[in-house]
Amino acid sequence: METFRYREHVGPGEDYDAGYRTREDLGAWAATDPLIVERELVARHRPRIEAEIDEAVAFAEASPPPDAGDLERDVV
């Protein structure tokens, strides 16, 4: 599914003042957003999605902190 980021890239605010999208963009997308329009489909997949998220969080919390060498790994 494709969806739309409703809030700023990092944080809970809005980023319309950044100039790369408008409130009209949001309105147009919300009218067709599958996460809104296809509620039954989302509900069917929600348990699997939440389990995957829980697994990823548990893995992250159980993992050791990264070392300084990790800062530049996989950076293009």
Q: State pLDDT tens for residues 7-21.
A: 887 778 888 887 878
Q: Token match 């963009």: residue?
A: 25
d(CA 10, CA 15): 10
Q: What percent of the chain has pLDDT over 90?
A: 32
Residue in 65, 6, 11, 73 with CA at minimum distance from that of residue 35:
6
Question: What's the pTM?
Answer: 0.57
State the average pLDDT for the chain: 88
31 — phi, psi (to 5°)? -70, -20
